[in-house]
Amino acid sequence: MSKVTIQCSNLSKTYDEGISKIQVLRQVHLEVNSGEMVAIVGTSGSGKSTLLHLLGGLDKPTTGHVTVAGKNLATLSENEKCRLRNAYLGFIYQFHHLLPEFTALENAAMPLLIRNTEPALAEQKAEKLLDLVGLKNRLQHKIGELSGGERQRVAIARALVGDPLCVLADEPTGNLDPRNAEKVLHLFFDLQKSLQTSVIMVTHDMNIAKKAQRVLALEDGRLVEV
């Protein structure tokens, strides 16, 4: 039976820049079940990344709360939030945030190394995922030696390496050609089927969004069904 993996209610976010205040999100409600894929669309600046950051506990809401695997993020310390993120979430950032001094393989293995998984095992799992995203021949490349799309795929491998309950993906296919974008989507679908992973994916591409079970749009700070 499906269960709620991530949920938020009454979520608002206002950025306070001294004289100017920008309200980006207004009373957003969202509930995502295990095995469900939700796409979020919206114009540039509509608050898509802001919403993902709040759902992943990377930023704090102005009002409302987020629950991940039944735990209210507001009740957790920073350390507890880090542990919860590592255990349950796979985050694919819009701008990757890979560690430049490490190789593709080390970056992809990082979530498992942080969990104290045995290094050989962590690298084995990371290698398998890098292979699945078409980077078998780039394992030992440093991040600076990779193309934009290759970096994006390392970030995807890193997000999936720890078998997360929920993947939060900020334009995961933004830098990819159609064939590689399709590969990534299939990886998500496989995880949905095999591990009941849920996926919340921000995208500008309506063709990709339409492959999700639900498409939601951010309009004037509110999340509406498309």
Ligand X SMILES: Nc1ncnc2c1ncn2[C@@H]1O[C@H](COP(=O)(O)OP(=O)(O)OP(=O)(O)O)[C@@H](O)[C@H]1O
> How far apart, in Å, are the Cα atoms of 81 and each of 77, 85, 201?
6, 6, 21
- Binding segment toward ligand X, per CB under 6 A, in 45-53, 113-121, 156-164, 193-201: 45-53
Q: Of these partners, ligand X, Mg ion, none, which one is at the site of residue 50 (CB under 5 to 8 Å by kind)? A: ligand X
- Give the one residue of 10, 21, 45, 60 binding ligand X; rule: CB under 6 A: 45
Site for Mg ion contains 173 (CB under 5 A) = no
List alpha helices for 133-177, DSSP H: 148-160
**Alpha carbon 210 to chain centroid, angstroms:** 18
DSSP 58: S
- Binding segment toward ligand X, per CB under 6 A, in 38-46, 71-79, 96-104, 174-182: 38-46
CB of 197 to ligand X, least distance (A): 23
Site for Mg ion contains 34 (CB under 5 A) = no
CB of 16 to ligand X, least distance (A): 8
In angstroms, the CA 43 to CA 167 distance is 22
- Give the one residue of 7, 49, 197, 203 binding Mg ion; rule: CB under 5 A: 49
Contact 64, 12 (CB under 8 A): yes
Using CB under 5 A as the binding rule, the residues of this chain from 77 to 96 that contact Mg ion are: 94
C-alpha torsion angle, residues 61, 64, 68, 74 (rounded to 10) = 70
Q: Of these partners, ligand X, Mg ion, none, which one is at the site of residue 47 (CB under 5 to 8 Å by kind)? A: ligand X
Total residues at interface with ligand X (CB under 6 A)? 13
**Alpha carbon 93 to chain centroid, angstroms:** 6
3-state secondary structure of 180: helix
Interface with ligand X (CB under 6 A): 15, 17, 22, 24, 42, 44-50, 94
